[in-house]
Chain A
Amino acid sequence: MAFLAPWFLAGLAAVGLPIYLHLLRQHKSTPLPFSSLMFFERRTQSSIKHRRLRYLLLLALRLALLILLALAFANPFINRPPESLRSDQLMVLVLDESFSMHAAGWLAEARTQAASLLASRPPTRRAQVMALGGQLRVLTQPTLDPGELRAALESVKGSGSRASYGELARAIRSLAQTVKTPIQVHLFSDMQKTALPAAFSELQFPENATLSLHPVSQKAEPNWTVETVSAPGLVWEPKRARVLATIAGYSTPAADRTVSLVINGKVAASKSVSIPAAGRATAEFQGLEVPYGFARCEIRIDSADSLREDDRALFAVERSDPRRVLLVHEPRDSRSALYFRAALAAAAESSFQLEPVSVDQAANLQPSRYAFVVLADLLSIPAPLEDELRKYVRNGGSLWIAAGPATARRPRVPVFDEPVKEARYYSRGGQRFLSVGDADATHPSLRRASRWEGVKFYYAVAVEPGSARVAARLTDETPLLLDKKLGEGRVLLLTSGLDNLTNDFPLHPVFVPFVEQTARYLSGIEQRRGPRTVDSFLELRSAREQAVGVEVIGPGGNRALSLNEAASQQSFALNREGFYELRRADGRHEMVAVNADRRESDLGIIPQETLALWMGQGEQPSSATAGPAAAPAQQVPFSIWWYVMLVVAAAVLAESFLASRYLAVGTEEGAG
């Protein structure tokens, strides 16, 4: 026997404490003279003799307790030959259930191999079944029950997840921390090369675990797949919409493939593309004639490969009318509307329609009918309109104010309600103009507007920011873009004009993404994201949308969230291919298309040398269908600290019992 942490044996010095308390400090029994013993009885003496015996037993127990504790902390172990541990071995069967296992019946083959291995297992050996996808799923606990193990094997149906052998190794390392007996891992997989982690060290297994590989594929199968699809998420002019698909071939010869655009189950267009050997080709579809609302679209290819599940790629498209935007300007200001309309129209996925009106015509308009309202440097604003705008913002509307020289004549910025400090004419100074000094790239308006070089501001209104967030500043620290929340809505203040008189901002390319992003931000339409991959997560609510119900309907048409989850869950795992319908906390509906990770489409297998290295056999050739990997020849250390702790627990119980009995002796005899 040896110790893994022998320095804890220093704790043996603690045995001196009970020896001191019991023996050195014990009563020396020096006879004491007393007047007369006529009131004492002889029977007391025999009980004391018994007690002395218990006293020594108690001392022995306490000494044993301390010694055992020190031993347990020192972590004793014994070296046992591997043969003696074989009966304690845990057999872990891991079935690859990743997307690529759908190919050519590989999953069924893996299941058959695992079942036959289970059948040949000694009846006294415990086994456990797990499934390897994006994560390692534990299907059974270690058991001897063959029925339970077979049922677990049958329950593995395959998923759209991507396998990760690094995840497998990590999970086995965690398992080895609790299971101290030898672990024999049997992996039934297609040994896909793309499942290897970036670093080989992540594949390392713990010392007490050995790996046996059971490949179901002996060579790389040719496979074509729809790799990517680029399509607009929101369409309001179907003729202008464009869909671009990339078709990839892995280990494939050069071939012609027919690519089809399918909308709501009907083939809308088809075309043939020539794909080079193990290469890629693109197919473009002009026009996306989808009905109003959400459309379930897919790009499909005709391929005769073994993995048919990746011959299509899903994407969702929403068609809607363009949203109206109201721009109120001074009668003589026509430039603001001109530049603003041009910027909105230039945006790729623009879905806004600008309605410019002069301020004298805007008195009777209802702002709530518009996605947002723009005030382009107004000298005066009718009080009813200002009240209406204030109410509109407080109820959740959005207002964009461009403050030019006309606004500077007012004491306060309308609706924004912050005082105007001064009008700064940079063109009259020595520097002639100022540039953007600081832009907060996290602000939604500036997220994609990053190229501010060369934009000249000749004029700006200095406004007290108050509680507003300053998203951009000029080089003299004058706030350029302020974002203020009022009630449920918000007001965005640009402290310069939208025309090209107070700046040349509208003439620069950055003006287009700035206007587009700001329009999306103010109208509440976030950037549509393309199709997602299986095992990715969908954010269900923002930080300010807590305790508001959301709803997710899965590909099968069933509700994916319970009532409790719908009210509180922050995110949702997309674990299946298909279309998910989502109703967000703010009431908006979305449709999300989910595809399997296309790295699973590459059916190339790991070289034999790499597999041999993984199994710990060095340069020795792999036996492919390999039985158990060769166990180390030396003896296996077997920790016995757990058994020592069991004895410690027993000693604690005995000590407690004896100590209580010892203390109770006097009372019992006194009563007797």
Chain B
Amino acid sequence: MIPVLQRFLNPSVLAGISGLDLVAKTVVDGFVSGLHRSPDFGFSQEFAEYRAYTPGDDLRHVDWNVFARTERCYLKRYRGETNTLLTVLVDASASMGYSSHQVSKIDYARFAAASIFYLAHQQRDAAGLIVFDDEVRNYIKPSTRQGQLHRLLHGIEHAEPGARTDFAKPFLHFQEFLKRRGIVVVMSDFYETPERIVKTVEPLRYHGNELILFHVLDPNEIRPKLREPVILVDLETQQSMEVSPDYANHEYTRKMDSHIEELKTLAQRSGIDYYLMSTDRPLDGALREYLSIRQGRM
């Protein structure tokens, strides 16, 4: 049963589902169904453990079903609930529109963001959204109000790749939107030098925010597969360049690996969580990352 559900975490399967709410529900349900092997994670109000009854314990917590079967008193313990403020920053620059298969990077970011929103909604966390390219395109304030999930999904569904040449420019304005302590998730392909990226996103942590960088990359960007020389056109600058397979297979791959490794190292050094998301991999990694951060905040 579980493999069938987890199959729906596959991005190419999700791409065939219309409606982000359905996508998010499918992902989260499939993800949660697979959590029985991971007792560290869970929802608020969720079951945590059994403990033997000791005198003085509140009888309301006794699990009478267990008592009926075993004639022993056990207390059913739940994890407590803490409201968390979640803000997801989705990069909608032109480069995010790249895809080498069914799912583009912006689609993948949409699925991941929608799933996180759905999960947050399930846990009654206040969630907000910022869509940006070279400036802020859409802002939905974090809230737990009725209809917030639909607003978020609607906002993210209309996030289309725009144009951007400067990565740092929109981040100058984000301080205004992030005044309360919470979790900030940045989804981007991070085409900038690692030093500048970290320097740009680092101020987001100043209010005590937990910061997660979701580095969304297409598998063809990590390991290009060229069989003959091609002319590549930059989606943002429209600049073109002829590239030989040998260069793409060796030099480019080395540079890209070095970029990822350096970004990861600098992010961790600055206390920022970093997670590389390849658009051909299941979405549960993003959810797991979010939950682990949230777990730490409880």
Contact = CB atoms under 8 A, between A and B. Distances in A.
Contacts of A47: 244
B236 A36 contact: yes
A29 interface: yes
Contacts of B234: 34-37
A670 B237 CA distance: 26
A667 interface: yes
Contacts of A41: 247, 251
B230 interface: yes
A55 to B, nearest CB: 10
B162 to A, nearest CB: 14
Interface in B208-239: 218, 221, 228-237, 239
A147 interface: no
A42 interface: yes
Q: Which of B242, B244, B249 has the most CB of A within 10 A?
A: B242
B246 interface: yes
Given A27-B228, A670-B250, A36 B95 contact: yes
Contacts of B245: 666
A38 B191 contact: yes
B22 interface: no
Contact of A39 (B237, B240, B256): B256
Given A36-B234, A37-B234, A48 B252 contact: no
26 contacts: A27-B230, A29-B230, A31-B230, A31-B240, A32-B231, A32-B232, A32-B233, A33-B235, A34-B233, A35-B95, A35-B98, A36-B191, A36-B236, A37-B232, A40-B243, A42-B241, A44-B241, A44-B247, A48-B242, A48-B244, A666-B244, A666-B245, A666-B247, A667-B246, A669-B246, A670-B247
Contacts of A31: 230-233, 240
A47 to B, nearest CB: 7
B255 interface: yes
B93 to A, nearest CB: 9
Interface in A28-74: 29-42, 44-45, 47-48, 51
A27 B245 CA distance: 13
B260 to A, nearest CB: 11
Contacts of A48: 229, 242, 244
Given A27-B229, A27-B230, A670 B251 contact: yes
A44 B218 CA distance: 23
Contacts of A30: 230-231
Interface of B: 95-96, 98, 105, 189, 191, 218, 221, 228-237, 239-247, 249-252, 255-256, 259
Nearest to A29: B231
Contacts, number: 88
A39 B245 CA distance: 14
A517 B245 CA distance: 91
B104 to A, nearest CB: 10
Interface of A: 27, 29-42, 44-45, 47-48, 51, 665-667, 669-670
Contacts of B242: 29, 44-45, 48
B96 to A, nearest CB: 8
A665 B229 CA distance: 12
Contacts of B95: 35-36
What 5 A-B pairs are tightest by C-beta distance, nearest first? A666-B246, A35-B95, A36-B191, A34-B232, A35-B98
Contact of A35 (B235, B247, B249): B235
Contacts of A34: 98, 221, 232-235
A29 B252 CA distance: 20
Contacts of B105: 35
A670 B228 contact: no
Contacts of B255: 39
A34 B189 CA distance: 12
A223 B105 CA distance: 115
Contacts of B252: 39-40
Given A666-B245, A666-B246, A35 B221 contact: yes
Contacts of B247: 40-41, 44, 666, 669-670
B259 to A, nearest CB: 7
A377 B197 CA distance: 127
A39 B241 contact: no
A35 B215 CA distance: 14
Contacts of B235: 33-36
Contacts of B191: 35-36, 38
B255 to A, nearest CB: 4
Contacts of B240: 31
Contacts of B243: 40, 44
Given A27-B228, A31-B232, A37 B239 contact: yes
A489 B112 CA distance: 106
Contacts of B256: 39
B232 A40 contact: yes
Nearest to B232: A34
Contacts of B228: 27
Contacts of B231: 29-32
A20 to B, nearest CB: 16
A33 B233 contact: yes
Given A27-B229, A31-B231, A670-B246, A37 B241 contact: yes
A624 to B, nearest CB: 79
A553 B246 CA distance: 78
Contacts of B232: 31-34, 37, 40
Nearest to A43: B247
B241 A40 contact: yes
A47 B241 CA distance: 12
A38 B93 CA distance: 15
A34 B100 CA distance: 9
Contacts of A669: 244, 246-247
A29 to B, nearest CB: 5
A36 B191 CA distance: 7
A666 B243 CA distance: 11
A4 to B, nearest CB: 44
Contacts of B98: 33-35
B120 to A, nearest CB: 29
A32 to B, nearest CB: 5
A32 B221 contact: no
A48 B230 CA distance: 10
Contacts of A32: 230-233
Contacts of A44: 241-244, 247
A363 to B, nearest CB: 102
A661 to B, nearest CB: 14
A31 B98 CA distance: 14
Contacts of A45: 241-242
A535 B261 CA distance: 93
A51 B228 CA distance: 12
A454 to B, nearest CB: 97
Nearest to B230: A32
A652 B221 CA distance: 41
A85 B291 CA distance: 97
A41 B237 CA distance: 15
Contacts of B237: 37
A364 B105 CA distance: 120
Nearest to A26: B228
Nearest to B190: A36
Contacts of A665: 244
A35 B218 contact: yes
A667 B251 CA distance: 11
B215 to A, nearest CB: 12
A36 B217 CA distance: 11
Nearest to B192: A38
A32 B252 CA distance: 16
A154 B229 CA distance: 74
A540 B35 CA distance: 101
A586 B109 CA distance: 104
Among A30, A36, A48, A51, max chain B CB count under 10 A is at A36
Contacts of B230: 27, 29-32
Nearest to B249: A670
Contacts of A38: 191
B122 to A, nearest CB: 33
